[in-house]
Homo-oligomer: A and B are copies of this chain.
Amino acid sequence: MAENPVRFGILGCAEIARKVARAISLAPNSTLSAIASRSIDKARKFAAHNGFPSTVHMYGSYDELLDDPSVDAVYVPLPTTLHLKWAVLAAEKKKHVLLEKPTAVHVADLDRILEACDESGVQFMDGTMWMHHPRTGMMKEKLSQLSIFGQLKSIHSTSTYAPPPEFLENDIRVKADLDALGALGDTGWYCIRAILWAVNYQLPKTITALPALELNRDGVILACGSSLLWEDGKLATFHCSFLSNESMDLYLYGTLGSIHLRDFIIPYNEDSASFSFLSDANFTELHLGWNKKPDEICVALPLPQEALMVQEFARLAASIRDCGGCPDPKWPEVSRKTQLVLDAVKKSIELGFKPIEL
C-alpha cells in the first residue's frame, strides 16, 4: 500500500458497497477508514459480515462519518433520491465524492452536487466501473483509427437483467420515492454512458424514446429504450430492462470496421476480458461466405475494474490532498452529460415518445 493511502468512508450498507469495499482494499493507494449506517448495529453487522479490519470506524449516522477528520473521501451508494443531500454535505465537509450511478434524480440536482464539489475543491466521480477497464481504452484506440474503423455510423447497446420476483416487489430500484428512474437509471445509465463514450461525449441533437415501455404500478420504469441522433446523421439505440435475461451488449458500426462485445458493464471474468473487432470485411466470390471472421482482442487485468476505478479516484484525491492539485474536470463533465441524456429520455417518455432537442 502507498505511504499515505486515501482513506475512504462508505455511506450506507448497500450490496454494491461490499464490492466497492473490496475494491478499496485491492487498490494500492486507498484504505477503508469508516462505514456508516442509519443504525450502529447495522454498521457493525455489515463490518463483521464483510470481515473489515478493526481499524475501520463504525457510525450509526451518516453525519458522524462526515465529521470524521480521518476520512478523505466518501463512496455514496445510497438510493438516488438521497444523493443530493448527502453528496452535497460530503463535499461541504471537504470529502472527495465517489457517487454511485445514477448520479441524481435529474440534472438540476446533479448540478447542485457538482457546485458543492467545485466550491470545496474536491474530486467528483461517478461509479461507472467499466470506464476504468483497460479494455475500454483498447476499444477506443481501435474506434479512433480512421484507417481501420472509418467513421462511426451507428451504435446499439443493451443493459438488461432479470432479477427475482422479490426484487420487482421490494428493491429500492423499483420504488418511486427511492430510485424513481428505475431501469433507466440503473441499467440505461450504462448504455447512455457507452454511447457518449463512443462519440467522445458529443451530445446528440435529438433524443426520442422508443415506443416500448414497461412501468410498475407506481410508475417506475421497468424497461424502456431510446434512439439518439447526431447532427452528422449518426444514430444510436439502446434498450434497458429489469425484465430480460442478462445482457450487456455494445455494438459499434463504422464505415470500415465494427466492435462487438457482450459483457461491457461487468466482464464475464475478473482477470481478463475481450472484444470482437472486424475491419474491411467482404463477401467471398459469389457471396458464398465472408473473407474473414472477427478477431477477438484480449486484455489481461492487473486489478478488477472497480479497483482500477478506486485507484484512479484515489490518485486524483491524493493529488489534491497532498500536492495542492485541482480536481480533474473530466469526470464531473461525463457524469453531467450522461445525466442530461438520461433526463431527455425520461422527458421523451413522459411526452409520449416525442423527440427532445438537446
By a beta-carbon cutoff of 8 Å, the part of chain A in contact with chain B is 15-16, 18-19, 22, 150, 153-154, 156, 158, 160-162, 206, 208, 210-214, 223, 225, 227, 229, 233-235, 237, 239, 241, 243-247, 249, 251, 253-258, 260, 262-263, 266-270, 278-283, 286-290, 293-294, 304, 355
Contacts and interface: CB of A to CB of B under 8 A. Distances in A.
B290 A268 contact: yes
Nearest to A223: B153
Contact of A286 (B22, B156, B161): B22
Given A245-B257, A246-B278, A270-B288, 6 more contacts: A150-B162, A153-B223, A211-B235, A211-B355, A225-B235, A245-B280
Contacts of A208: 211
Given A160-B253, A237-B156, A266 B290 contact: yes
Given A268-B289, A290-B263, A211 B227 contact: yes
Contacts of A286: 15, 18-19, 22
A210 to B, nearest CB: 5
Contact of A288 (B156, B212, B258, B304): B304
Given A243-B255, A256-B162, A287-B16, A210 B235 contact: yes
9 contacts: A150-B245, A156-B158, A158-B251, A162-B255, A206-B211, A211-B235, A211-B355, A227-B227, A245-B258
